[in-house]
């Protein structure tokens, strides 16, 4: 298990059910995070990472333009930028790498986030486990469909060299 993990600036999380974590309205017009998307290009699955000096991270939902926040074990995308220390603490997470997957630990209650179906919410993100279980395993993907390379100068075959035949 590695305590120091650096994620890309933009990430998408895939759960143990093979679905990406999507910001959506699940219940009574409240925003929740649900493992429900098959498309890494869907804007609702993109999160921006913000690192702190202590190794914790804050994750901002592209869909809601808000930070992920701990709220009675559910993780919801409605955290603000405010200076209130208690509110700020509820938006802090620690990312832990275990083998080829990651664990996301809420610093508000020190529990790992997992996919959970409960209280009329299906496959939503919940911080309820003191240790990593199958439902806590997350895979990280970069939500990038293409990259562009530019400012490349091609000098032609006449300047090519052969090394080690």
For residue 46, give every residue at least 6 positions away whose Cβ sits within 8 Å of its Cβ, in sequence order, or none.
10, 11, 12, 61, 62, 63, 143
Q: Which domain holds residue 116?
A: 10-159
Classify residue 138: in a domain, yes or no.
yes
At residue 156's C-alpha, the angle toward residues 154 and 162, to 5°, is 110
DSSP letters for 9-75: SEEEEE-TTS-EEEEEEEETTEEEEEEEE--TT-GGG-EEEEE-TTS-EEEEETTTTEEEEEETTEE
Taking only the tens place, the pLDDT of each residue in 44-76 is: 999 999 999 899 999 999 999 999 999 989 999
> What's the confidence (pLDDT) of residue 150?
78
Classify residue 1: in a domain, yes or no.
no
Classify residue 5: in a domain, yes or no.
no
Classify residue 2: in a domain, yes or no.
no
Q: How many residues does the chain have?
A: 165
User: What domain count does the chain have?
Assistant: 1
Report whether pLDDT(23) > 90: yes
> What's the confidence (pLDDT) of residue 6?
87
The strand pairing partners of 88, in sequence order, are none
Classify residue 165: in a domain, yes or no.
no
CATH code, domain carrying 86:
2.80.10.50
Report whether pLDDT(162) > 80: no
> What's the confidence (pLDDT) of residue 160?
74
> What's the confidence (pLDDT) of residue 101?
93
Radius of gyration over every alpha carbon of the chain, rounded to an integer in angstroms = 19
Q: How far apart are the first and last CA of the chain?
A: 43
Report whether pLDDT(28) > 90: no
Q: What is the pTM of this model?
A: 0.83
């Amino acid at each position: 298990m590695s305590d120091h993990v650096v994620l890309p600036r933009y990430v998408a999380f895939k759960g143990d059910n093979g679905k990406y974590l999507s910001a959506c309205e699940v219940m009574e017009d409240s925003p929740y995070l649900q493992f429900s998307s098959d498309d890494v290009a869907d804007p609702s699955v993109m999160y921006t990472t913000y690192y702190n000096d202590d190794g914790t991270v804050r994750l901002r939902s592209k869909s809601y333009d808000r930070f992920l926040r701990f709220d009675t074990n559910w993780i919801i995308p409605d955290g603000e930028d405010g200076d209130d220390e208690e509110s700020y603490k509820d938006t802090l997470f620690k990312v832990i790498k275990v083998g080829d997957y990651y664990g996301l630990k809420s610093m508000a209650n020190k529990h790992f986030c997992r996919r959970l179906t409960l209280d009329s919410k299906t496959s939503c993100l919940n911080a309820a486990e003191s240790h990593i279980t199958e439902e806590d395993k997350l895979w990280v993907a970069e939500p990038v469909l293409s990259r562009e390379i530019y400012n490349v100068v091609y000098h032609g075959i006449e300047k090519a060299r052969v090394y080690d035949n």
